A and B are shown apart, each in its own frame.
Chain A
Amino acid sequence: MQPTSSMKEEFLKKWQMGLQIYRPLIDNTSVSERRKAIKLSADVAMASLRKGTTCWSRALIQKTATEDNFLVRQMLSGIKAETLINKKLPKVMCHRKIVRRSKMILRRRQSRSAIEEVAAKARKLVKKKTQGLRNVVPGGEFMSNDVLLIQETLDYIVSLQTQVNVMRSIVDAAEAGSERTAYYLGKLKFAIEDG
């Protein structure tokens, strides 16, 4: 599973569209405002690749909308912006403290063999790590199902790789400027077509 050239091209187009929306502001703002605009456009571009079909992309769009509602609406005007922004995310499935407390009570009542102890420790470690994953994947806190969580993670990573790949090519080309532009532009097109 790798970023395809069509994914990269689509990301680039959407990102450019987002930057165009900011164009009037770009000349008159601080570096940090500009950085934020660049990053938000890139995030919406990345999320919109999935057209609302994954949980992480919906969560990311909603999160970005809280920071810049106008940008999100403009960038998504073709893809049911309203429904994506206002779509209700599922409520947290079970209150973690209650589950923890009842598990502790259960544990005290059971007596276990050594093998069961090891298996239980391994399961606990995996649970802890999946919790870490929930913290870094957008919308992770709503994914109580581990299978769903890992599926979403896989898709999120491929999308992030696409985002980084294209942004890196563009920024390298932009920094190179006029002297070696031809070379870098060629390399960029080559990289995008090569997939």
Chain B
Amino acid sequence: MSNRRSRQSSSAPRISDDQIIDLVTKLREILPEIGQRRRSDKVSASKVLQETCNYIRNLNREVDNLSERLAQLLESVDEDSPQAAVIRSLLM
């Protein structure tokens, strides 16, 4: 089955290329830096995909940082303090 696929790759249907172009355009719109540029500016699909990978990695890293900050905060706060009450109401 995989052999058949590779032999057909040079005559693959064009329809899926348009779909991909459309999706890459959508990706570009939600990326922070590239998305800000004018639509008329040409950005290659390859660059959009690369920026997408970077963006996802950054978002994951930020989630890790936020989790760490929160864990540290829960560690350091005094049980009876008003701040602890605030945290409890926010989180639970």
Q: With A1-B26, A133-B49, A164-B63 in contact, is A102–B86 under 8 Å at CB?
A: no
Main secondary structure of the interface of A (DSSP, over half): helix
B43 within 8 A of A: no
Q: How far is the CB of B85 from chain A (nearest CB, A)?
A: 8
Which B33-73 residues have a C-beta within 8 angstroms of A? 45-46, 49-50, 52-53, 55-57, 59-60, 62-64, 66-73
> With a CB–CB cut-off of 8 A, which chain B residues contact A23?
92
A88 within 8 A of B: no
> With a CB–CB cut-off of 8 A, which chain B residues contact A167?
63, 66-67, 70
Q: How far is it, in angstroms, between the C-alpha of A181 and the C-alpha of B85 when the chains are bound?
A: 11
Q: How far is it, in angstroms, between the C-alpha of A103 and the C-alpha of B75 when the chains are bound?
A: 56
Say whether A153 contacts B67, CB under 8 Å.
Answer: no
Q: How far is it, in angstroms, between the C-alpha of A35 and the C-alpha of B63 when the chains are bound?
A: 10
Number of chain A residues whose Cβ lies closer than 8 Å to a Cβ of chain B: 56
A51 within 8 A of B: no
Point out the residue from A106, A147, A164 that lies within 8 Å of B16, measured CB to CB.
A147
Q: With A136-B53, A147-B23, A173-B90 in contact, is A103–B69 under 8 Å at CB?
A: no
Q: How far is the CB of A150 from chain B (nearest CB, A)?
A: 4
Q: With A35-B68, A39-B67 in contact, is A129–B82 under 8 Å at CB?
A: no
Say whether B3 contacts A177, CB under 8 Å.
Answer: no
Say whether A38 contacts B82, CB under 8 Å.
Answer: no
Say whether A34 contacts B29, CB under 8 Å.
Answer: no
Q: How far is the CB of B23 from chain A (nearest CB, A)?
A: 4
Q: How far is it, in angstroms, between the C-alpha of A168 and the C-alpha of B62 when the chains are bound?
A: 9
> With a CB–CB cut-off of 8 A, which chain A residues contact B52?
133, 153, 157
> With a CB–CB cut-off of 8 A, which chain A residues contact B59?
157, 160-161, 163-164
A191 within 8 A of B: no
- What residue of chain B has the Cβ atom nearest to residue A34's Cβ? B71
Which A17-41 residues have a C-beta within 8 angstroms of B? 19-20, 23, 26, 31-32, 34-36, 38-39
> With a CB–CB cut-off of 8 A, which chain A residues contact B75?
31, 34
Say whether A146 contacts B20, CB under 8 Å.
Answer: yes
Which A95-123 residues have a C-beta within 8 angstroms of B? 95, 98-99, 102-103, 106, 122
A158 within 8 A of B: yes
A151 within 8 A of B: yes
Q: How far is the CB of A168 from chain B (nearest CB, A)?
A: 6
9 closest cross-chain pairs (CB), A and B? A129-B49, A177-B83, A35-B71, A178-B82, A34-B71, A150-B23, A94-B2, A39-B67, A160-B59
